[in-house]
Amino acid sequence: MPRTHTHRTRRTLPAPPRPAALLLPAALVLAGCGSDGGATGDDAGSGGGSEVTLTVLAAASLTDVFEEAGAAYTEEHPGTAVRFSFAGSQELVAQLHGGAPADVLVTADTDTMASAAGLTGEPETVARNELVLITPPDNPADVEGLADLDDPGLRLVLAAPEVPAGRYGQQILREQGVEAEPDSLEPNVRAVLGKVRWGEADAGLVYATDAVVAGDDVHTVPVPEERNVLAEYPAATLNEAEHPDEAADFVSWLNEETARGLLAEAGFLAP
């Protein structure tokens, strides 16, 4: 019956496209809407005419000072550029186990470095750090010390126990008998800093050096030395390094005058 047939065809005609094709209108509209998307940063060191580019995997808390140290190193060693990849220490080791190519690893604790033992040379401590309590500049919850952190209404953010800063933080709270209820366990210490800077959190535990970076954006409450823990930053060359000699040189350079000066300026303690 031709009539029924045409009728059916008409009915199936407006049927919607398959899922993949559903996205086509989106693509077309996009083309017309001229969105320029988000900017992506490139933290690679300034290469120029460099012959060697060292890849350094470093703990998130080293972000700012290592950017400077990298530039200083290149200035002292023309021809060698240094590029960094910053992340939580455990994440860096996970990346290495996943086969990420790099020359040097710098972590924020000795445990994490030890977990990469099969992949690295002998580690050397290059800096030390301690934790501080930070709040937004106006300190809305009146946090004056560790004892204030047990208020259940306080919006407290810590680093996740999977990363060194989180372990140190938990250790301090445990030793002081503070029963804190964190609102979020951030994947790295810089994320804690961000949440407090934004005012999303009332308080957070970060490295002293992170508080230095944030400057007036946060209010810093020091944690007394006898209640604090001392984080050690070991650096090591990687066995699979593409540039083993330069990598070894960079690691020992981190313990020399220039790097020591930069690290001290950023609030790190000498090893």
Q: Output the smallest distance, CB 119 to other proteins, in A.
A: 14
> Does 215 participate in binding other proteins (rule CB under 8 A)?
no
């040379």: which residue's tokens?
121
CA–CA separation, 123 vs 134, rounded Å? 31
Dihedral (Cα; 145, 146, 150, 152), 10-degree rounding: 60
Q: Residue 150 has what DSSP assignment?
A: G
CB–CB of 203/131 below 8 Å?
A: no
> Does 26 participate in binding other proteins (rule CB under 8 A)?
yes
Q: Output the smallest distance, CB 202 to other proteins, in A.
A: 9
The amino acid occupying position 170 is Q
Q: Is 35 annotated as a binding residue?
A: no
> Does 153 participate in binding other proteins (rule CB under 8 A)?
no
Quickly count: other Cβ atoms within 10 Å of residue 174's Cβ.
11
| Size of the chain in residues | 271
Q: Output the smallest distance, CB 49 to other proteins, in A.
A: 32
> Does 246 participate in binding other proteins (rule CB under 8 A)?
no
> Does 130 participate in binding other proteins (rule CB under 8 A)?
no
């933080």: which residue's tokens?
169
Q: Which is nearer to other proteins, 22 or 270 (CB)?
A: 22
């709040």: which residue's tokens?
135
Residue 127: CA count within 13 A, CB half-sphere: 30
Q: Which is nearer to other proteins, 216 or 226 (CB)?
A: 216
Task: Give the per-residue contact string, 73-102, with other proteins (x = CB under 8 A; - = no).
Answer: ---------------x-xx--x--xx----
Q: Is 233 annotated as a binding residue?
A: no
Stretch that binds other proteins, among 116-124, 194-202, 206-214, 215-223 (CB under 8 A): 194-202
> Does 35 participate in binding other proteins (rule CB under 8 A)?
yes
Residues that bind other proteins (rule: CB under 8 A) add up to a total of 46
CA–CA separation, 77 vs 57, rounded Å? 19
């005012």: which residue's tokens?
199
CA–CA separation, 180 vs 165, rounded Å? 16
Among 199, 212, 219, 260, binds other proteins (CB under 8 A): 199
Q: Output the smallest distance, CB 123 to other proteins, in A.
A: 19
> Does 15 participate in binding other proteins (rule CB under 8 A)?
yes
Q: Is 85 annotated as a binding residue?
A: no
Query: Tokens at residue 189, please?
Result: 């210490």
CA–CA separation, 82 vs 50, rounded Å? 10
Q: Output the smallest distance, CB 14 to other proteins, in A.
A: 4
Phi and psi, residue 127, nearest 5°: -165, 165
- Which residues of this chain interact with other proteins, rule CB under 8 A? 8, 11-19, 22-26, 29-30, 32-33, 35, 37-38, 40, 88, 90-91, 94, 97-98, 155, 157, 160, 162-163, 182-187, 191, 195, 198-201
Residues of the binding site: 61, 89, 165, 189, 207
